[in-house]
Amino acid sequence: MSDYSYPYKDAEFVFNELVGFDQLCEQAGLEEVNTELAFAVLEEANRMGTEVIAPLNVVADREGASLGENGVQETPGFKQAYLRYVEDGWAGLGFPEEFGGQGMPKVLATAVSEIWQSCSLGFSLCSLLTHGAVEALLLHGSEELQVTYLHKLVSGEWTGTMNLTEPQAGSDLAAVASRAVPEGDYYRVTGQKIFITWGDHQMTDNVIHLVLARLPDAPPGVKGISLFLVPKFLLDENGEPGQRNDVHCVSLEHKLGIHGSPTCVLSFGDNGGATGYLVGEPHRGLMAMFTMMNDARQAVGLQGLSVSERSYQQARGWAMERLQGTRSDGTRYPIIDFPDVRRLLMLMKSGTEAMRGLAYVSAAEIDRSRLSKDPDDRVRHATRVDLYTPIVKGWLTEMSQELTSHGIQVHGGMGYIEETGSAQFYRDARITTIYEGTTAIQANDLVGRKILADSGEALTGLLQEIQVTAEELIQTDDLSALGHALAEAVTAGTQAQQWLLDHAREDRNVGGAAGVNLLMLLGYVCGGWVMGVAALKASGQLAAGAGDSSFLEAKQVTARFYGEHYLPRAVACLASVQAGPESIMALTAGQF
């Protein structure tokens, strides 16, 4: 057993008051799904997570995966846990019933993923990558590929990987050099991919790699990259894994955190070429990858929340037990009585609540963009998903760097010692701002594709909605300070956007210099929005004498704290945005 438990009360509040889960399910025609069912599912997931997965997290950190004669051997205990995860039907929760999934809304699948990720980031990554592969096949695979591979990927009997990165091609995928040469109705794939998460293991009898590579006639750059499916074992006439394909893990990376997740160097074609099958159209592989990135990027954003929540729960427990102060009568009191320890815990508590609100609201937007009956509605929600995606990925993961660091600080010296586990959360969190596109890449996406491309229309719409909430808060007696702080942050967002629109075309460094500050500014604003709405709803319930008054009062305090300690950062970000690229670009490379 672990001391972690899913924060049901906060999650239920988000489902009911921010997401409108029952209404979402009703509108989507999912009549049998509702909040009651969702929380029965979440309770089961919490049981599985805390009893089976969380106890392996420390083993994963200390022993991790290793490379042997048969390829990668995963962390001891992971195989049994994974088989149970598959047997209990967790892998297909959010996938279409047509391929053996359970067709549950994305927002519920997201909440369940929070549990797996809080229990063990390294373990949960295997499913995250499989999800990516499933999404890619659902959106771009031929009927034959879908029929052949999707059922077993959806059920989790096979796992999937995403093979983009090569030594010379990281953020810049235009430099991908792996090759695929046609041979009959398949292709021979050759090349080396690095940093491939869960690129090999012994938990399942096949691993399905999705690989970016170039055809012989490919034009240079991003427009010449195609996507291929390359199974570890080729399928025999019965569709079962048979002959070994020419793809092998040649080494494992030693890394700062997530030791439970094997990070592989994969070599394709050492013996003549791995057999691969084209996914989607030739030369359009990168576009295919991009269409599934909203999901994968939001899933990594969720990792930021999940690891921060785990770190918070541990810090909270420590702060209640660790005695340091001495009263006048000589008795000692716990460190949670010190204002600064409380400040750290409040940063963690209000930060994670804002992150959860935003992550679930954003997942619900994905649902609405897919399930809404009205086509115009679907487009409207899809536009919001596009805008949220870099913010959810960038802001939540950057926040997790700060929050898991606070988790260590609350522990004092014991936080720095591995024994407490707090250091692991900090180390595990570190990768989240790097993979699936670094924060700078998210910021480029936000600035270029989400703001400049539509001259700020989508963001203006979002900021106007947030301003309505700010005004509602201002009208109240007890939450008006929060309302003013939110309104100032919205103004900062509006000014930052306008500054960008006014200057971006003058100098190509403007967007790159402003991007991350703008992304963080909008993260604080969106977090303030969900906290503001939550505070208003809590007030309403308290006035009506409904709900759990202790939880609702705490929610109001947490929201007020957010207004005092996080929202002013939006104004600081604005100053850095408006400072422009001059001092950033002024030094010559030699002056660094």
Ligand X SMILES: Cc1cc2nc3c(=O)[nH]c(=O)nc-3n(C[C@H](O)[C@H](O)[C@H](O)COP(=O)(O)OP(=O)(O)OC[C@H]3O[C@@H](n4cnc5c(N)ncnc54)[C@H](O)[C@@H]3O)c2cc1C
Residue selected from 118, 197, 497, 558 as contacting ligand X according to rule CB under 6 A? 197
Nearer to ligand X, 50 or 163 (CB): 163
Q: Does 251 bind ligand X (CB under 6 A)?
A: no
Residue selected from 15, 435, 562, 566 as contacting ligand X according to rule CB under 6 A? 435
Min dist CB 226 to ligand X, Å, is 15
Q: Does 163 bind ligand X (CB under 6 A)?
A: yes
User: First CA to last CA across the chain, in angstroms?
Assistant: 50
Min dist CB 438 to ligand X, Å, is 3
Query: Going residue by residue from 453 to 482, which x/- string records binding to ligand X, judged by CB under 6 A?
Result: ------------------------------
DSSP single-letter state for residue 193: E
Which helix (H) or strand (E) segment holds residue 334: the answer is strand 332-334
Min dist CB 170 to ligand X, Å, is 2
Q: Does 401 bind ligand X (CB under 6 A)?
A: no
CA torsion angle 75 76 81 86 (round to 10): 60
- Tokens representing 238? 């019965």
Residue selected from 444, 469, 497, 556 as contacting ligand X according to rule CB under 6 A? 444
Check the CA dihedral 276-279-283-287 and report its sign. negative
Residue selected from 38, 52, 104, 164 as contacting ligand X according to rule CB under 6 A? 164
d(CA 78, CA 183): 38
CB 401 within 8 A of CB 372: no
Q: With CB under 6 A as the contact rule, which of the stretches 48-56, 193-201, 355-363, 369-377 interacts with ligand X?
A: 193-201
Min dist CB 290 to ligand X, Å, is 14
Min dist CB 327 to ligand X, Å, is 48
d(CA 181, CA 190): 9
| CB atoms inside a 10 Å sphere around CB 426 | 22
Which residue sits closest to ligand X, CB atoms considered?
170
Residue selected from 440, 474, 571, 572 as contacting ligand X according to rule CB under 6 A? 440
| Length, in residues, of the chain | 592
Query: Going residue by residue from 405 to 434, which x/- string records binding to ligand X, judged by CB under 6 A?
Result: --------------------------x--x
CB 201 within 8 A of CB 80: no
Q: With CB under 6 A as the contact rule, which of the stretches 40-48, 302-310, 436-444, 532-540 interacts with ligand X?
A: 436-444
Nearer to ligand X, 256 or 320 (CB): 256
Q: Does 162 bind ligand X (CB under 6 A)?
A: yes
Min dist CB 506 to ligand X, Å, is 19
Q: Does 196 bind ligand X (CB under 6 A)?
A: yes
Query: Going residue by residue from 126 to 155, which x/- string records binding to ligand X, judged by CB under 6 A?
Result: ---x--------------------------
CB 369 within 8 A of CB 23: no
Catalytic residue chosen out of the listed positions 436, 457, 471, 564: 436
Residue 43 appears among annotated catalytic residues: no
What is the size of the binding site for ligand X (CB under 6 A)? 21
CB 228 within 8 A of CB 277: yes
Residue selected from 146, 155, 165, 192 as contacting ligand X according to rule CB under 6 A? 165
- Per residue, the 3-state secondary structure of 120-179, as one string, reads CHHHHHHHHHHHHHHHHHHHHCCHHHHHHHHHHHHHCCCEEEEECCECCECCCHHHCCCE
Q: Does 123 bind ligand X (CB under 6 A)?
A: no
Nearer to ligand X, 129 or 153 (CB): 129
Rg (CA), the chain: 24
Nearer to ligand X, 129 or 492 (CB): 129
Q: Are strands 159-163 and 207-213 parallel, antiparallel or unpaired?
A: parallel
- Tokens representing 270? 């050492």
Counting Cα atoms < 13 Å in the Cβ hemisphere of 377 gives 11
**Alpha-carbon distance values, 467 to 362, 472, 492, 563 (Å):** 18, 9, 12, 14
- Positions annotated as catalytic residues are 436
Binding site for ligand X (CB under 6 A): 129, 162-165, 170-171, 195-197, 255, 263, 431, 434-435, 437-438, 440-441, 444, 512
